[in-house]
Amino acid sequence: MTLPLSGLLAALLAQAAAPPARQPAPVMTAHGASWLERADREAEQRPSEVFRAMGLKDGDVVADLGCGTGWFARRMARVVAPRGKVYAVDIQPEMLDLVRGYVAAEGVKRVEVVLGSETDPRLPALSLDWILLVDVYHEFQKPEAMLEAIRRSLKPAGRVALIEYRLEGTTAAHIRTEHRMSVDQLLAEWLPAGFRLVKQLDFLPTQHFLIWEAVE
């Protein structure tokens, strides 16, 4: 079907005005694991404050999705102990081997490692109180499929805590551009996927912290 001139012009203008599609960043391999265990990470990412904002408590079932070395997973496990559980999910077996080593060395209990895929974290359906994603969503190569799988794994009242380095401003200028995201980018991808933004928190010095819930 051929569009009339006015319709064609409108379509071209809309295409020109639309922002370019976001390209997922390359996945950081286990060769970069030392970055995830850096000494200043506690001060920069403030896990205790993050967990308070999430309202984590004993008995919660949570997942650290894209867990890397399990830096956050190990700390969450102590908060949800003794009755809770943490799924440490990554798509790289080498990262999960590191998680097992750290968990054993620190004596952390109730952490279950899960080898996920680019399209599915392979979490049990309707089972998660919280899913935490820290500096990883921008690396999802199949974000639409992953968001759908995340929805399936949440309990009816389950929520997602999403942390990403800020693309806006200069607070995260030390991070490569492709490893940062703006709030507008996140809204553009999460809202159509069936999520509602519950809260945006700004206490982290270099990162966005957004809390989402699935829309019925």
- What pLDDT, on the 0 to 100 scale, is given for residue 15? 45
DSSP state of 91: S
- What pLDDT, on the 0 to 100 scale, is given for residue 33? 87
Query: What pLDDT, in 10s, does the model give residues 12-34?
Result: 444 444 456 788 888 878 888 88
The strand order across the sheet containing 111-115 reads 111-115, 85-90, 61-65, 128-134, 154-165, 207-214, 195-201
Query: What pLDDT, in 10s, does the model give residues 30-57?
Result: 888 888 999 999 999 999 999 999 999 9
CATH architecture of 45-214: 3-Layer(aba) Sandwich (3.40)
- What pLDDT, on the 0 to 100 scale, is given for residue 14? 44
Q: Where are the domains of the chain?
A: 45-214
Percentage of the chain exceeding pLDDT 90: 83
CA distance 102 to 151: 29
pTM value?
0.88
Query: What pLDDT, in 10s, does the model give residues 140-185?
Result: 999 999 999 999 999 999 999 999 999 999 999 999 999 999 999 9
